[in-house]
Amino acid sequence: MNALRHSLVARIIAFLVLISSLALASIGLTVVMAQSTQGHAEAINDAGALRLASARVITAVQSARTDPVRLTRALEVKLASATLEAQPHYGLIGREAAQSANAALAKLRERFSEEIVPAVNAARDHQPQPVARARARLNAFIAQIDHFVGLRERATEKRISLMSRIQGLFLGLIALFLLVALVDMRRNLARPLHRLTALSRAFGQRRFDQRSRFTSANELGQLGRTLDHMAGELDISYQALEDRVAQKTAELERHNHALQIIHDSSHALYGGGNDLCASAAPLLRQLEEVLDIGPMVLSLHNAHDGSDMDILATHSPERPLYCRDLACFACLTPDGREPDAATDDARALVLPVKAGRLNLGYLTVRYTREPAPSTRQLLKTLADQLANAIYLEQRIEEQQQLSLIRERTIIARELHDSLAQSLSYLKMQVARLERMQAKDLPAERQAEVIGDLREGLSSAYRQLRELLTTFRLSLDKAGLQPALEQTVDEFSQRLGFAIELRYQVPPYLLSANEEVHLLQITREALANTVKHARPHWVGVSLTFRQARLHLSIEDDGIGLPDDGSPPMHYGLIIMRDRARHIDARLTARNRPQGGTGIYLDMTPQADRLIKEGGE
């Protein structure tokens, strides 16, 4: 029963077996009943033959030409044979009718032997009265034969009627079971199949929200629930796939936008000089908004001492340490608070800013959500762009320094061709004057040489003044820091103790022109210290704070005679002239602790270009 209740196939097989069994049973009963009527027709034929034989006997009794006794014997033989042949067909189905037929045959046989045979024998002489009696008895015998035939016909009709009722019963049962099977198949097969077909069409149209909601325990119910589960998983997978496609599409759009930003900003990035705030800061802020990352920090590497300095930051609560423009707010957040990505739980992606094997610095990118590989590749491209821009600016700076060196070489040649020759001439005039004094020549002749010396000195002084304004010291190494260290070492040897040097300036901040002027001012100040101060301690400090550069050369020597108005020595004039050329403010005063201090304050150039004719 559980199999019939839970299996559609089992129910279909059960219906087929039941209907087939009913059909087979109906056919079997029909065959049996048909077989039970075998011999009825033969018995009726035999009865007809007996009737015909009886009629011949009647004719023979009435006619003298035929022996009635012989015909009677033949009739007796036929009667006996008919009885013997008909008897086996009775008792199969309709035993009652068979018994009646057998009783009728028995009466025919008994009457034939008791009445017909004596009456025929008595009518052999063809006497009217015996003939009439034999004829009457033969007619009665014929009527009894007809009664026998009627019994056989009614028995056959009963069998046919019973067969009809049985066939009708089986046909009714078959029709009932067929109706039950059709209703069951319609409910449990046709409707579920129609629903499954509709589901398949809906799934083909990518509508995975449709469900069969089958509750039956049969095969189609299990199939429907499996399809529902599969549709649910497909719906989730399809939605996830659509979300991924939408996410990838949005990511591609963001990356295309970011690439467009990098492309559009390349001109400003490669043409912005050393002012990275003006060129790189807008680019980084736009990329942060597009890629949902940040803040970013750009650090440049100092190849001389291996230190890294943060020169640019985005969404920072405070200015970077080496900010050069206090009017710029590109790095600062509007409310002064750290963004979410700058919290302690945020992670950072550190990308090297390298040009080939040369490490120029690092780009630190903070994020709260792990960036996709394509975003990492885009940030690597950004780091490469920054590296190329910075490296290009360094090469431009080196070219500017080389140009400056070539210019200084020309100036040195000019010194040799002009001032050096004048000094050589003056040296010869001095030697001439010494010989004249040794020979005690007249004063008139010595006055002539002294006049030549005076004129030569005036000419040399004019040439020196002209050349001093354009004279520059060539730098052996790129950058101001190694040149300052070399200068400090040189004057430390001359003083006999180490000069303290403090250098805190971000790389590539100054132009070559500014570096040379600052170096020459430092050398001139240290030279004056060595000549006049008699110090025990000397300190040189070059720092960058609040967007301005601060240079100080201090000592603990004897100090200036007048702190309010320092004497205009030739060296101080040179330093002031150099400060003027780089738009710096230079002051000289006594220190409260004792000694002298030379202080320079300036704003570095932002474009890093040497202005021709202004130096």
Which CATH number fits the domain that encloses residue 169?
1.20.120.960
Final residue of a structural domain among 327, 354, 375: 375
Write the DSSP string, 217-248.
-SHHHHHHHHHHHHHHHHHHHHHHHHHHHHHH
Same domain, 158 and 289: no
- Is 213 a member of any domain? no
Same domain, 184 and 264: no
Write the DSSP string, 549-585.
EEEEEEE-SS--S-SSS----HHHHHHHHHHHHTT-E
- Is 567 a member of any domain? yes
- Is 236 a member of any domain? no
Same domain, 493 and 608: yes
Would you state the pLDDT for residue 553?
95
Q: Tally the domains of the chain.
A: 3
- Is 223 a member of any domain? no
Same domain, 496 and 608: yes
Final residue of a structural domain among 181, 197, 213: 197
Whose tokens are 């010595």? That residue is 446
Q: Which two tokens stand for residue 257?
A: 């936008």
Cβ neighbours of residue 552 closer than 8 Å, sequence gap 6 or more? 539, 540, 541, 597, 598, 599, 600
Same domain, 191 and 329: no
Same domain, 259 and 154: no
- Is 231 a member of any domain? no
Cβ neighbours of residue 69 closer than 8 Å, sequence gap 6 or more? 120, 121, 124
C-alpha to C-alpha distance for 349 and 364, rounded to whole angstroms: 6
Same domain, 170 and 26: yes
- What pLDDT, in 10s, does the model give residues 162-221? 888 888 888 888 889 888 888 888 887 778 888 888 888 887 787 777 777 777 777 777
C-alpha to C-alpha distance for 343 and 459, rounded to whole angstroms: 70
Write the DSSP string, 145-193.
HHHHHHHHHHHHHHHHHHHHHHHHHHHHHHHHHHHHHHHHHIIIIIHHH
H or E element, residue 77? helix 68-86
CA distances from 24 to 9, 15, 178, 267 (A): 22, 14, 15, 98
Q: What is the three-class DSSP state of 19?
A: helix
Which CATH number fits the domain that encloses residue 292?
3.30.450
Q: What is the three-class DSSP state of 360?
A: strand
Q: Is the dihedral of CA 108, 114, 115, 117 positive or negative?
A: positive
Same domain, 165 and 297: no
Would you state the pLDDT for residue 450?
82
Alpha carbon distance, N-terminus to C-terminus of the chain: 111
Q: What is the three-class DSSP state of 349?
A: strand
Q: Which two tokens stand for residue 609?
A: 């270009």
Same domain, 479 and 563: yes
Q: What is the DSSP letter of 89?
A: G
Evaluate whether 512 touches 474 at the Cβ level (below 8 Å): no
Give backbone dihedrals phi and psi of 458, rounded to 5 degrees, phi first: -60, -40
Whose tokens are 């990511």? That residue is 251
The residues facing 405 across adjacent strands are none
* Among the listed residues 221, 63, 241, the one whose alpha carbon sits nearest the alpha carbon of residue 135: 63
- Is 526 a member of any domain? yes
Q: Which class for 601: exposed (0-12), middle (13-18), buried (19 or more C-beta within 10 A)?
A: middle
Say if strands 358-367 and 538-545 run parallel, antiparallel, or are unpaired. unpaired
Mean pLDDT for back-to-back runs of 10 residues, the chain (615 residues): 68 84 85 67 68 71 63 66 45 55 71 73 71 77 78 77 85 88 81 82 78 75 80 81 84 80 72 64 80 83 77 73 66 56 66 85 86 84 83 78 69 62 76 81 79 76 57 55 89 93 88 81 88 92 92 92 59 81 90 92 66 38
pTM over 0.75: no
Say if strands 296-301 and 358-367 run parallel, antiparallel, or are unpaired. antiparallel
- Is 76 a member of any domain? yes
- Is 446 a member of any domain? no
Which CATH number fits the domain that encloses residue 491?
3.30.565.10
Cβ neighbours of residue 378 closer than 8 Å, sequence gap 6 or more? 255, 258, 259, 291
Same domain, 179 and 288: no
C-alpha to C-alpha distance for 518 and 511, rounded to whole angstroms: 11
Domain region containing 107: 2-197
Output Rg (C-alpha) for the chain, integer angstroms.
Answer: 69
CA distances from 129 to 64, 120, 124, 126, 507 (A): 15, 12, 11, 8, 170
Same domain, 181 and 258: no
Identity at 161, one-letter amino acid code: S
Would you state the pLDDT for residue 585?
93
- What pLDDT, in 10s, does the model give residues 579-609? 888 899 999 999 989 899 999 999 987 544 3
Final residue of a structural domain among 319, 352, 375: 375
Would you state the pLDDT for residue 587?
93
Same domain, 81 and 179: yes
C-alpha to C-alpha distance for 472 and 520, rounded to whole angstroms: 8
